[in-house]
Structure 1
Amino acid sequence: MRYETVAEAYRDLEQATGRLAMIDRIAGLIEQTPVELLPAVVLLCQGKIAPDFAGVDIGLAERLAARAVGTAAGVTQDRALAGARETGDLGLAAERLLGERDLVDTPGLQVSVVFDTLHEIAAAAGAGSQGRKLELLVALLGRATPLEARYLVRTVTGNLRLGIGTATILDGLAQVYAGGRKARPVLERAFNICSDLGLVAATVAEGGPEAVQQIRVRAGNPVRPMLAQRLSSPAEVLAKLGGSCAAEYKYDGIRVQAHRTADGTLELYTRGLERMAWQFPDLVQMLDAALRPAEVILEGEVVAFDPASGDLRPFQEVMYRRRTHGIAEAAAQVPVSLFCFDLLYADGEDLTHLDYPQRRQRLTAAVETSGPLRLATAEVVTDVAGLDALFEQAVADGCEGLVCKSIAPTAGYQAGARGWTWVKLKRDYRTELTDTLDLAVVGALYGRGRRAGMYGALLLAAYDPDNDVFQAVSKCGTGFSDADLAGLPGRLAPLIRDERPARVDSGRDADVWFEPGLVIEVVAAELTPSPHYTAARGKLPDEDAGLALRFPRFTGRWRDDKTPEDATTTDELLQLYQAARRATA
């Protein structure tokens, strides 16, 4: 299969203005792809050559990629970098420069060659690795057509960003191999328990949806985390959960999933499927000694604590441990606890279908707790007074609040889903005036006055998972320090787009558009209907209005631990709005 075929699809996807058009185009590419190459192609469409959890990074620094472009085009590295500055994109500069070559017939690339060579580039390490990476990339560019070069350079520098989410690719797979997009939930469930889009693609192509249904949880493949809805009062929580629930402390830390595989390897994954065991060697050693099953998948919250007092410390302190150097020194300065709260797999048995009480019982038996390794505090409550008292105790103990979990026999672990079997009750949710929201940055407005020459406000959006789009809910320019504002262009530069991305639904314009990729935490005075914003539009009494935040403020917390699809959903906003209206009625 020619890589040019993939590149042409990329070009069409960039130009698509609606999600249905994007699904049809990705389905067209899937139809053109031989089954044996399908895993590679769907990964390449995400700008990857392996699932996130594999930890394979093909990203090259722009200067090294520019040097490769220059060598392949017969110009200097500076000329390639100047082209990147002129076009705003090294990929476009590569397309232009390679288009000026004297070669009459550029042979072009095969998908298998591109995929294998990218793996070689990623694997090059140690002395001479930079030269080897350069040599491999130059060889690819030397055979690439100009259009292929555009996307090859964007892929190796981590800037492909076609504006398509996993849900869109799953829709395309369902359309081609599963009888239509109505079958997407089957594929989505499989992806949520294996986190490997290539595996799902290969399975559905070879055996249809019936084969996909046989994909099972297994140690070494992270399960996409179950998420919680939110409500603003204990009475609402109990009413939603059938009058009783297991209320767990909600710790202010980093959610992790620990895997021990049959060969004894123990790895930790963030909720974004990033490997992090190497940053927490103390935690790995502690877990390895305390886990009773030989193979296991366990979830918990890593929290910083004060060794002198035993008090829990805020989120910012545990994030200090997320560093690339000085690991041992950081471990000594910021000791951590792990509060285990779920067990998903043990010695060959998938536990996700079990209800919460059974999983909790299995968790208790699987972990030998001691010192900083503990089980999350949890109690079964059956009345408002009991839930309110536990909430206040959780806050007094340094937690954010509670996660209230259904104890119904039918309430299993819903991987990757935000359902009503888990409900958050946090300090910030106890009043409609201080809701904490995690929102995706989709645009920016230029500043005025003392903010002239920089971004003065960001356009923020909530995620609509049903339609795989980001709906604008607010602009926010308050709460940013001078350092925050100065750093915004650098943080957001890789996400800049010339036009509004196809997955962004906004009723107002922006000076600069961004592909959703950065999530920030904000607080606001209240939610109010607005004709200028699109969040939850069509679900309010005024169907032409969406929800907007009144007096939003950045809390200073960058949610680097969250993908844009983990942002607050439009349904959550709608529920908060409706709860506030009921409270004031």
Structure 2
Amino acid sequence: MDLPLLPPVAPMLAKSVPDVPEGEYLYEPKWDGFRSIVFRDGDDVEIGSRNERPMTRYFPELVEAVRAQLPERCVVDGEIVVVTGDRLDFEALLQRIHPAESRVRRLAAETPASFVAFDLLALGDEDLTGLPMSERRARLEAALAGAQAPVHLTRATRDTALARQWLDQFEGAGLDGVVSKPLGLGYQPGKRVMLKTKHERTADCVVAGYRRHKSGDVVGSLLLGLYNEDGRLQHVGVTSSFTMKRRAELVEELAPLRLAEGEEHPWAEWADAAAHEKDRLPGAQSRWSAGKDLSFVPLRPERVVEVAYDHMEGTRFRHSGQFRRWRPDREPESCTYEQLEVPVRYDLADVLG
């Protein structure tokens, strides 16, 4: 490649704020996919990732789309997403990362990906990273004026009220929040200089086990469950934000809940690979966790904890829950999916414009 910027380039990042800020910002929807920087030099295309590893081989349909829709020589920052029906489907996107070439080709046809562009880092021989965000956005709009699906230009606004409206509405299409970019901001790879606003909700969950911390015999994360409509305890995610002192204390606090010999546990079948496929039990390996120790210490499901979460992906929290407090006043059986807020559905096609 002969470009002003060559891979790998670390993407510019955002730090969390509780509300959409007012001021001189460009506001954009926060897409829930794989952050990617795309490099094109003629027919030579490389798709980078947030961890700066290439993802080109996993998305052959996007390589063709980039050649057809992006400028001849450019570097574009954006997000790879998969759409199912009228919303984003992160679970389907996860399945796209597969080592077998035959499966990669099959999934490219069955669950094709789209690329949503939101920043232009280079065009031709020109490095644009030193330009302010407002100028890069104008250059991006001009460069992608003729782009068609599966390449999209993200929506953007300078209207704070509209951005707050997007925060509420677009969640129903599977989006993740709103990103606020200072208009005068140059592109700063790897730096958290943008702002992101996401929903925060709380849920009361059953603690049904814990994983040990990588440093030793202390609690790494608590395994959380909710009862589904069939009365089964479904693994819904983890919470893991504890100090090392607190991790050691939790081992002692949870010791009375450890199963005695012969006691049954609702996730006893976690070693069955078929069960992982069906119910997302907490012992499952995946392409992202291969080689990690995912075994856990089972506990009697008798304690309830309140955690904060942003949104759901299917039956699970999309990201780790944040510990808020123990709930000794709650019965475990009362911790069901019915307590969760369900966003109003929104047509993703309208977000993509």
Q: What is the TM-score when the length of structure 2 is the normalising length?
A: 0.60
Instruction: State the alpha-carbon separation in 2 of the partners of residues 360 and 444 from structure 1.
Output: 48
Structure 2, unpaired ranges of 5+: 205-212, 224-237, 255-265, 271-280, 294-317, 327-353
Instruction: State the alpha-carbon separation in 1 of the partners of residues 64 and 290 from structure 2.
Output: 37
Q: 15, 31, 35: which one pairs with 1:251?
A: 31
Share of identical aligned residues, percent? Answer: 27
Structure 2 match to 1:582: none
CA contact (8 A) 2:12 2:188 kept: yes
Q: 57, 61, 65: which one pairs with 1:278?
A: 57
Structure 2 match to 1:400: 176
Q: Map of 1:128-527 to 2, 5 A cutoff?
A: 218-234=4-20, 237-238=21-22, 243-261=23-41, 264-292=43-71, 294-306=72-84, 309=85, 311-325=86-100, 326-367=103-144, 368-382=146-160, 385-407=161-183, 409=184, 411-419=185-193, 422-428=194-200, 442-443=214-215, 445=217, 460=240, 472=244, 475=247, 482=270, 483-485=281-283, 487=285, 491-492=291-292, 521-526=319-324
Instruction: State the alpha-carbon separation in 2 of the partners of residues 231 and 473 from structure 1.
Output: 28
Instruction: State the alpha-carbon separation in 1 of the partners of residues 152 and 188 from structure 2.
Output: 24
Alpha-carbon offset, residue 273 of structure 1: 1.3
Alpha-carbon offset, residue 222 of structure 1: 2.3
Distance 1:219 1:484, change over 3 A: same
CA contact (8 A) 2:10 2:190 kept: yes
Instruction: State the alpha-carbon separation in 2 of the partners of residues 389 and 351 from structure 1.
Output: 31
Instruction: State the alpha-carbon separation in 2 of the partners of residues 317 and 245 from structure 1.
Output: 33
Instruction: State the alpha-carbon separation in 2 of the partners of residues 473 and 397 from structure 1.
Output: 41
Instruction: State the alpha-carbon separation in 2 of the partners of residues 425 and 361 from structure 1.
Output: 24
Distance 1:271 1:472, change over 3 A: farther
Distance 1:334 1:351, change over 3 A: same
Alpha-carbon offset, residue 490 of structure 1: 6.6
The one-letter code matched in structure 1 to 2:27 is A
Instruction: State the alpha-carbon separation in 2 of the partners of residues 376 and 404 from structure 1.
Output: 13
| Partner SS, residue 380 of structure 1 | coil
Alpha-carbon offset, residue 275 of structure 1: 1.3
The one-letter code matched in structure 2 to 1:258 is V
Alpha-carbon offset, residue 338 of structure 1: 0.9
The one-letter code matched in structure 2 to 1:492 is K
Distance 1:426 1:319, change over 3 A: same
Structure 2 match to 1:204: none
Name the structure with the higher strand share. 2
Alpha-carbon offset, residue 350 of structure 1: 1.1
Structure 1 match to 2:305: none
Q: What is the TM-score when the length of structure 1 is the normalising length?
A: 0.38
CA contact (8 A) 1:244 1:381 kept: no
Distance 1:524 1:223, change over 3 A: same
Alpha-carbon offset, residue 446 of structure 1: 7.1
Q: Deviations over 1:433-455 (max 9, x none)?
A: 89xxxxxx6435479xxx9xxxx
| Partner SS, residue 215 of structure 2 | strand
Q: Deviations over 1:359-380 (max 9, x none)?
A: 1111112223212211112111
Structure 1, unpaired ranges of 5+: 1-53, 55-216, 435-440, 452-457, 463-470, 494-519, 529-585
Alpha-carbon offset, residue 327 of structure 1: 1.2
Instruction: State the alpha-carbon separation in 2 of the partners of residues 473 and 283 from structure 1.
Output: 47
Instruction: State the alpha-carbon separation in 2 of the partners of residues 286 and 472 from structure 1.
Output: 48
CA contact (8 A) 1:246 1:405 kept: yes
Distance 1:485 1:379, change over 3 A: same
Instruction: State the alpha-carbon separation in 2 of the partners of residues 286 and 229 from structure 1.
Output: 31
Instruction: State the alpha-carbon separation in 1 of the partners of residues 40 and 291 from structure 2.
Output: 34
CA contact (8 A) 1:253 1:315 kept: yes
Higher relative contact order, chain-length normalized (CA < 8 Å, sep 6+): 2
Alpha-carbon offset, residue 221 of structure 1: 2.4
CA contact (8 A) 2:241 2:322 kept: no
Instruction: State the alpha-carbon separation in 2 of the partners of residues 271 and 486 from structure 1.
Output: 24
Q: Deviations over 1:171-208 (max 9, x none)?
A: xxxxxxxxxxxxxxxxxxxxxxxxxxxxxxxxxxxxxx
